[in-house]
Structure 1
Amino acid sequence: MSPVGLSCYSRWLSRFKTIYSQSTVVSFSSTATTTAPPNENETPLSRPAPPPIRVALTESAGRGVFATRRIGAGDTIHSAKPLVSHPSLAAINTVCYFCLKKIQTFSGSQRQGVSLCCEKCKESSKVFYDVEKRADWLDFDDYCRTEGMKYPLLVKRLACMVISGAAQANIVDILQPASLTQEMILKMEEGFCLLQCAFSKANIRKEHTSFLTKQWYTAVLARIRINAFRIDLAGGVYEDLLSLAAASVEAESAVGNAIYMLPSFYNHDCDPNTHIIWIENADAKLKALHDIEEGSSLLLLEELWLTLLLAPQNHTKGILNS
């Protein structure tokens, strides 16, 4: 790592320890707005406030997220539910197939080898699972496992959601795409063919899969590659977010991947002012690492930098080559 990178890490680590070494418990609350009609017994003060942020174009990094007022250190900026999520193949038997919450016992609802943690997740999973269970995914999953790929699983789930009518085929078009080389595109073709073949063998009507072209698959995967978050569960409310991050990496608590709308607009920096965490499931919480002044750009730490910072030294080379 370069001296500049080490300097950035040092500043970030010091700030992380200073802000979250206090003994107070951080409480989490949703700041999402609602479109439901106001309750006649609800007062303006009891309604959730909109997030103190706006999305705007930056001078050099495309879209970004900016504070619309001063945000205090440790404040929850907003929460976000995933547009699409999927457990990792390694964790598929130990987490909820919908929300990615860890399942200690298999007392929840089970469907053909996958587990749902509660009736709510069982009902919610119908947006993709009623379509997914009709197909044989053995070859597709083997392809992802053999090639070490995780993002095609998100494309599969999104495709099932589109077929079921729960999502529009262009739902992720607003997200920034990654630049793909011809070699990368050629490598994606195998996954596309396996996905298309699975639906075809399941006798899903062609009018329901007309969106599923090679161009659609490649475009979606290009956006997922640059916007997906690896889900590391904290397993409880942590007072120290540095301990939270360290525990996530050391316990190999990554349970899956997800894409979000608003968090995808955040830019990344080696000296961030914002942190994203997952307490029990794929619902993300974004918190301020330190005081953020009105008009400031909100910045997240690059996932790879966090992994390098916290990973054991003998694993660093493998991380860089992955």
Structure 2
Amino acid sequence: MTHRAAAAALRRFFRRCSSRAGTAAVSRIDAEVSALDVIVGHTERSGRGVYAGRDFAMGEVVIHRAEPLVAHPTLRNLRTSCYHCLKPLAAVPRESHVPTHGGRAGGGAAGHFCGEPCADAARTSYHDAETAAGDAVAPLVAHCRQHGLKFPLAAARMAFAIAQGNATPRDADALVRVNFPRGVAPGAWLDEHAMISLALARGDAVRGGAFGGRSSEVTAEWYVGVVSRMHLNAFRVEIPPPAVGHRDDDDTAGDAHDCDDHVSCNHHSHRSPAASSFKASLEAALASSETGDAAGTATYLAPSLFNHSCDPNVDVDWVSGDAGMRARTRVDVAKGTELTICYTDGGAPVDARRGALEHAYGFVCRCERCVEEGG
């Protein structure tokens, strides 16, 4: 199945989404939610939703810092963003930069960590397995460059973490996914899984079986589940540029696309409508694919529970300068009110917003703003 066919399949089955949550994944997301002043409940039209557990004043923080389940820089920004936390490398002194396994990241694309803390965190989590795989990762990187993809790279990062014993195959199970009927997974996704499997096998052989057979847990079923969840839940991370620093033009010349444009774009992407809007839907992302604004893609647990509104009461941002996300209210919010974010270009006309949302996520928006503007 081609990427365009996969896009059609995704749209056909979006309405069959369900969380299929595993116990460990539920425990982790429950722990995140329990630390917030919110309540997770069911909505009339959107299934699961997040509600204010108390009154919030305008500008009050709902989530102080959400850490990503997985984050990965775009290939376009691989040499200008930290390979682990996505921080702009221009924001830290050049002498602090640490090259990814000898300056080679992902089988041939040079990358750097912003400093030793991120380098150590990456090695502990996933980077040792990736390093062991060496140039066996190159086919996946080339495939992603050719098709403008990034979710396979994020999934590969999760796979390497599983191989190192620092993640489980069920870590993302609490997130909503597309339920493909048995045997109907996009063929291109199965090809991507095969590339990852070969890289894992190479790494395990290089390490003399040090991964203890955990690579076998990275099944095709796991890969399809993870990528489908990323299509519905991943955020396009837009980090404010540093006040000072240098960015070489040729560092960003490699990739034309900043989203998986042949399938679907990130579920959430956030420049708020109040801040010149933001681009998350497929059409808006394609229109801006040359800008390279996004540092990377990231998937979170608690933030992914927020439903969409074209007139949201919550904005998210990355003011910490890395992939740690903050969420705060745009208006006063009364206790018991559903907390929403915007998935698409909030400044677009109603027909464009509805068309983009239906194309990317399979629903016609019936939020109050859309009903008022378009019936």
TM tier, smaller: 0.7 to 0.9
Residue 217 and residue 298 in structure 1: after superposition, are their counterparts in 2 closer, same or farther (change >3 A)?
Answer: same
- TM-score in terms of structure 2 length: 0.64
Render the CA deviation track for 1:147-199: whole Å, top value 9, x for unaligned. 22111111100011111111111000111002448776212111011111112
1:141 and 1:236 map into 2 onto residues whose CA distance is 28
Q: Percent identity?
A: 27
Q: Which amino acid aligns with 1:153?
A: L
Render the CA deviation track for 1:39-78: whole Å, top value 9, x for unaligned. xxxxxxxxxx942212122232121111011111111111
1:247 and 1:258 map into 2 onto residues whose CA distance is 15
1:196 and 1:277 map into 2 onto residues whose CA distance is 35
Alignment match, 1:175: 175
Secondary structure, in 3 states, of the residue corresponding to 1:286? strand
Secondary structure, in 3 states, of the residue corresponding to 2:89? coil
**2:196 matches 1:195:** yes
Secondary structure, in 3 states, of the residue corresponding to 1:134? helix
Alignment match, 1:255: 295
Residue 236 and residue 267 in structure 1: after superposition, are their counterparts in 2 closer, same or farther (change >3 A)?
Answer: farther
CA contact (8 A) 2:273 2:345 kept: no
**Superposition pairs of residues 107-256 of structure 1, within 5 angstroms:** 107=95, 108-111=97-100, 112-113=102-103, 114-126=111-123, 127-135=125-133, 136=135, 137-180=137-180, 185-202=186-203, 203=205, 205=209, 207-235=213-241, 242-243=274-275, 252-256=292-296
| Structure 2, unaligned runs of 5 or more | 1-29, 104-110, 244-271, 281-287, 361-375
Residue 150 and residue 216 in structure 1: after superposition, are their counterparts in 2 closer, same or farther (change >3 A)?
Answer: same
Secondary structure, in 3 states, of the residue corresponding to 1:120? helix
Following TM superposition, the consecutive aligned residue runs of length 4 or more in structure 1 with deviations greater than 4 angstroms are 179-184, 244-251
2:122 and 2:348 map into 1 onto residues whose CA distance is 36
1:81 and 1:50 map into 2 onto residues whose CA distance is 13
**2:80 matches 1:94:** yes
| Structure 1, unaligned runs of 5 or more | 1-32, 36-48
Q: Which amino acid aligns with 1:198?
A: A
CA contact (8 A) 1:106 1:115 kept: no
Render the CA deviation track for 1:97-146: whole Å, top value 9, x for unaligned. 11000012642112232211122111211211011111121111011111
Alignment match, 1:67: 52
Secondary structure, in 3 states, of the residue corresponding to 2:163? helix
Selected match of 2:70 from 79, 84, 87: 84
Secondary structure, in 3 states, of the residue corresponding to 1:133? helix
Secondary structure, in 3 states, of the residue corresponding to 2:237? strand
1:265 and 1:122 map into 2 onto residues whose CA distance is 30
Alignment match, 1:56: 41
CA contact (8 A) 1:273 1:288 kept: yes
> How many pairs does the alignment contain?
266
